[in-house]
Structure 1
Amino acid sequence: MSLLLFILLELVLRFSSISGSVSSSNELKPRKLAGGDPLCPLDFDKLREMVKKSSSGLEFLDVPTECHSFLDSIRIVRSEYLRSTGFFTIPPNASEACWHSFQILVNEYLTVFDVRSNCDVQTGWISDSCINISTRAEFEALIPESELQEVKRSCNQSLGGSSACEPCVASLSSIQEAYFRGPEIGNVSDCAAYPFMYAAAFVNQFGPTDFGTAKCLFSLNLTLAVKNINKHDVVVRGIVTGCILGFLGAVPVVWFLWRWHKRRRKKKEALAKIATRSALRLGLIGESTTLVKFTIEELKEAARNFSRENLIGLGGYGNVYRGVLADGSEVALKRFKNCSASGDADFKHEVEVIASVRHVNLVALRGYCTATVPLEGHQRIIVCDLMHNGSLHDHLFGSGTEKLSWPIRRKIALGTAHGLAYLHNGAQPAIIHRDVKASNILLDETFEPKLADFGLAKFTPDGLSHLSTRVAGTLGYVAPEYALYGQLTERSDVYSFGVVLLELLSGKKAVIAVDNGKASLLTDWAWSLVREGRALDVIEEGMPELGPPELMEKYVLVSVLSAHPLLHARPTMEQIAMLFETDLAMVPSIPDFPLSILTKADDIERSVTCTGSGSTLSSINQQPFYFTSSHSVLDHEEDEEISLVNGVLKDLL
């Protein structure tokens, strides 16, 4: 009889321990624990619930493994305590009580295992602080905000899978290595676990007791137990499923046919509504932009029927006309060549995306037009603000123009760098210009530069993509890895910018025709001067109002580095803008033995594929590359220059 009473009492105690877990509050109060000591503030019931929900439970493997598991499980409870109170450590006088409470939990599964003696852990391990860090505020004051943001970015998600866990652990390990190099995991202090306890408490949205968080941050591998389905549930589900199948089988075939015809009719109606809404949306392009859809009649009137008197530029993709709208504002109209109506939807979408990219150094789109005109074919036209100072190409190479002063050249260089940096890093998605050149840098009344034609190079004749079997670009500006192999990154724009900057500083064109009938690149000429220590000889003679020699030399070196044939040697546009924004003569180092575009193809290919060269957006079949003119201004010398470079490339390949 006494044995029966003892068994009943044991069952009651077990049941009460399962159902008696206490939820944490903002201020954790001392609780009466199983050991009879009210001083321990750690809630081991949360750990007890995790173990009970697990299908694996606690099974003895070996002493080292069990010690690691027990200490990691204590860190989970301490992380919960940190989450509730903001303290990493408990009061020192509570250490003994908390070890006693944890020992009771362990003995529920391993009756003869003593944690402190077997794991050689001192009593103060659970309460001693690490490098005098004991609160959340002290931890966050120690770690730079940028590193905390990286932890939030990588750890605030479900950490059950390895793809999510690995970057989180990497960022926390980096903090641990840099700031918590105190005693390692052992019997004295718990420094190494501080970043992980912090992330589980305040960064991860699921908290320390989430099974995925516990596995990732504390190496505690618990899996949720799958509830068994009893026979009664199986029978009920089988009956319900059988009834449903029987009912469906009893429905007449005619009813199915009727439903099929009804659905087909509704689908057609829905598609018609979607098409109507899409047409309306594209016709009034977005409330998020100020774009206007002009009629072809409005633009013909603005540009005097696209007369030759209004023609201000020719390009590979289309011609540019000056126009005056009905409200009196002056605009530039770019009229694309060889278009078809089949690509209008994509064209309108791209125009909307480009119009949403706003920056002081980017030309703003005002509107567009798509129309089919008898005898003239399908028309696609974009409308932009007219830049009264023309293009940089006009001022550098136009006849009868005054030479630009150093302050204006510096302003143009800095503004262009800011515009490209915004396209690469500020726009969403990022945009690679692909055709940076002097004629695509327009100047307003104050000589503020504005990049034109960004994002529009893909609208080539016959709808060919810019990343096609024929590389798009302009003579002398195309990066070697893009010209020869079609491999395109943001640093392809950096190369083109470097060439434009050399033109701006020297007043010379990107490709120079020499007396022996061969082509010479401006980049090669500039490199030869820099290697000889004559960087200032690159500056154009007769430039009015020169700048400080050390500052001009810095601009020359940045231009040479930007136009380096090795892709990974070039800086980013953000780095270039930062160099330009300071008057300090910070001179970047240029790698030895720079390659030319006229070097061996094998050397350039090794440069493209080397580690750290940047991600490649596209790859095309390797084939000889021939330049085609896409200048947006009239230039009668360019055909001769194209023939010279094409001849060199034929000999090379």
Structure 2
Amino acid sequence: MAPRFLLLALVVVVAASAWAPVTFADPQATLLNLGCSQYNATPASAFLAALNATLADLRANLSAAGGGFATAAQPRATAPAFAMAQCRPYVAGRDCVVCFDAAAARLRAACGAANGGRAILDGCVLRYESAAFFDQSTLPGNTQLCNGSAVDVGGFADAARALVADLAAAVPRVPGLAAAAARDGVYAAAQCVEAVGEGGCAQCLQVAVGNIDGCPPDSDGRAVDAGCFMRYSDRSFFPANATVDLAEYLRSGKSSHKGAIIGGILGGIAFLFLVGLSIFLLIRRYRKLKPRRGDILGATELQGPTSFYYHDLKAATNNFNEKNKLGEGGFGDVYKGLLKNGKTVAVKRLIVMETSRAKAEFESEVKLISNVHHRNLVRLLGCSRKGSEFLLVYEYMANGSLDKFLFGERRGTLNWRQRFSIIVGMARGLAYLHQEFHVCIIHRDIKSSNVLLDDDFQPKIADFGLARLLPDDHSHLSTKFAGTLGYTAPEYAIHGQLSEKVDTYSFGVVVLEILSGRKSNDTRLEPETQYLLEWAWKLYESDNLIALVDDTLDPEEYKPEESSSPQGPLLLMQQVECEEKHPLPVHLLPPRPLYQFLSFQPGERH
């Protein structure tokens, strides 16, 4: 798909150039910055399909609107995609589309199935991500690009710094958040992404001024960031009629003597700050203009979670009121919280040992967890810390945990199709943790209460990555391993052998619970007060696996051979795989009868 898209994009670029009249303006397609996420989207085919749709929408909007800015999204896709494109105010019409096509072709060629990418060209910027990013202004990775020979005549360096400073002050007030200006032999322009707003624009351009300050007296300098772009040159790079009178946007309106004094003081402080900053930045002045890779900003970088104020989360949960409690377990109690912005979240309270090492490990692990994004894994939104107490903020799942639907107050409400969809979704989530994230994460505590259901009863695995954070004296088992009796693989419980197979075993136990509606470690249920695994084994030996099926299920909803045949689970999973057109994780498919899938072998007892 990607090569075909790339060929199409290149054809469009060539065709657009061929159709252009001789007066066709310069699309300014020089590449300044190119970055791709280090993580691949999953499933890749679904993400690429969504990305294709968003890029097509962007191109259509740029062609029709003529405004030079567009966003597009496929938020409800299997693998969501969000994209944004913006052309400089002096690169319009077909020039804008040509620049967009060049950026799209470069991203396709460089990024493949990466879940994020950004190309900054002189004339435009194109960025896509697997999560919304439109309001991001300045992020780590902002940089300068200095080019050309030194210009020492006529105070060029001072004039360039003065003009870009005026642009930084004026552009946040200019309609469209973009302006070009010429003064004292200097040509300069500044632009912000329209979605960042006036405040985000001002913040981004201040960072840009600090970056570009290291370029003069070079004849050409640029500053690039997630939400803005700035350039100056000793040669014009925009039409004469594209300039904006900055004077009216630099006026402060009502002034006073007091305001002048405050302004002077702040200006002096800013000047001293810029002087110190410029000394540092001058070290980088010899960096010449060339494409850069690996600077991609935003959600594709390994960033930490959002920091919340402890008192805000305390207020959101009504002082951790028992009425707000959603559940409790070995990793801590979970409370429903309502943030000031009206968003409902789940807040988990953890107790971590008060040692510098424990806190450092906690922060490192939480940073890792916050970068795990998958439709079948609960998203960590942020965190807070107060003393030995840590708060983790997760997305809220309205339907709660799976165990409530299997053997709790809502038992019998899940039909067969929903149950199987949950099995497949769990498998996908575990496969991502084991094989597709950039490091292997072993959950170690897969159980039905750690599987949450969204509004559409799609499963999301919770508490992954937390097992290593448990202090020894807060383990929820008498033994010093992370897991729950009844779900834990024997080789892990007895010998401490930890691998992905530990999660695969636990996943198999949950599959049995979903099929039977019985809890794995509850002996109070009939028949014969047996544990679930013992019962399943006896049913297999007597060739009566159909008796395992939950009696609350409608017999018309499923075929007996899907449960009683040794290859039934495999055949059914393959059937769903074909229907959904997404490959299932091989290491979670049962290639043998279900009892072997659960690590049982004939004649063995576990």
- TM-score, L = length of structure 2: 0.44
Structure with more helix by fraction? 1
Larger of the two Rg values belongs to structure: 1
Structure with more strand by fraction? 2
- TM-score, L = length of structure 1: 0.41
